[in-house]
Amino acid sequence: MKNNNFKLLFLILLCLNFNLKAQNDINEEIQIKVKGELIKTMDWGGLIRYEKANKELESKNKPDVVFIGDSITEGWSYYFSDFFGDNNYVNRGISGQTTEQMLLRFRQDVIDLNPKSTVILAGINDIAQNTKFYGVKVSAGNIFSMVELAQSHGIKPIICSVLPADRFEWNPSVLPADLVREMNQLLRSYAEENEITYLDYYAAMNNNKGGLRSELTNDGVHVTKEGYSLMNKMVNKSIYRLLEKRK
């Protein structure tokens, strides 16, 4: 009997030792990944990008509007830099970003600037799968979260439709047209149900085949100067109405 008890105890200790070793191996592997230079230096959310510019704004009058988005928003300033400065608007677009990255930096790049309004143009990079894509409902939900954060701080949001797109040159395996339409329906429905301004770029810019009109784009996603000129007029109209401004 004693021998049997000894063997049982030995087996229990052996199993515990094996489990402990396995857990230590897992912990070591995690630590290696965490300590890796890529992880330590990666600014995944883009919080560093506008850190200095945001600091400089502290000594100035608050902006009327902050535009947050991806390369379509960022590229706006290359064609029409005066559009932002002359109207007391601030551009906080970051090329390639998806909605979860924008949500991560929304407090720093929008709320802390204390604008009267924010223009949210996002979602096409989610559909392009620039980061893990969980579906249009999750992406739309990230935009809804930004809207609700803005409202809780007295900032009036404008939800922009995702622009038409029928191809991605950097990810040709994804066919975006139907997903764009599906996401826009979610955005429109939410805006209507919650009495939020919805800016329908899609209706004004589509080629009736799910893509951008040829004169408005060079690659099916990004916008030409002519495209931004149209967007200037449309967004200003929405802002003037929302803030009861006059031209």
Q: How much is the pTM?
A: 0.84
Q: What percent of the chain has pLDDT over 90?
A: 79
Do 30 and 68 have their domain in common? no
pLDDT at 11: 55
Do 130 and 166 have their domain in common? yes
Do 58 and 20 have their domain in common? no
Do 19 and 62 have their domain in common? no
Model confidence over 80-98: pLDDT tens digits?
Answer: 999 999 999 999 999 999 9
Which residue range is the domain that position 9 belongs to? 2-41
Do 94 and 26 have their domain in common? no
Confidence of residue 22 (pLDDT cuts 50, 70, 90): very low
Q: At what angle do helices 136-152 and 99-109 cross, to 10 degrees?
A: 10
Do 226 and 132 have their domain in common? yes
Phi, psi of 59 (to 5 degrees): -95, 5
Residue 46 inside a domain? The answer is: no
Confidence of residue 57 (pLDDT cuts 50, 70, 90): very high
Do 107 and 182 have their domain in common? yes
Average of pLDDT values for 42-57? 94
- How many CA atoms does the CB half-sphere of 177 hold within 13 Å? 10
Do 107 and 198 have their domain in common? yes
Residue 226 structure tokens? 């002519």
Q: Judging by DSSP bridges, how do beta strands 65-69 and 197-199 pair with one another?
A: unpaired
Do 192 and 120 have their domain in common? yes
pLDDT reading at 232 higher than 70: yes
pLDDT reading at 198 higher than 60: yes
Q: Which of 87, 66, 90 is nearest to 157 (CA)?
A: 66
Average of pLDDT values for 41-60? 91
Do 16 and 122 have their domain in common? no
Confidence of residue 30 (pLDDT cuts 50, 70, 90): very low
pLDDT at 4: 55
Q: 159, 201 in Cβ contact below 8 A? A: no
Domain count, the chain: 2
Do 83 and 130 have their domain in common? yes
Residue 109 inside a domain? The answer is: yes
Q: How far is residue 180's CA from residue 121's CA, in Å, rounded to a whole number?
A: 13
Average of pLDDT values for 60-76? 96
Do 14 and 55 have their domain in common? no
Confidence of residue 42 (pLDDT cuts 50, 70, 90): confident
Residue 72 is part of a domain; what is its CATH number?
3.40.50.1110
Residue 64 inside a domain? The answer is: yes
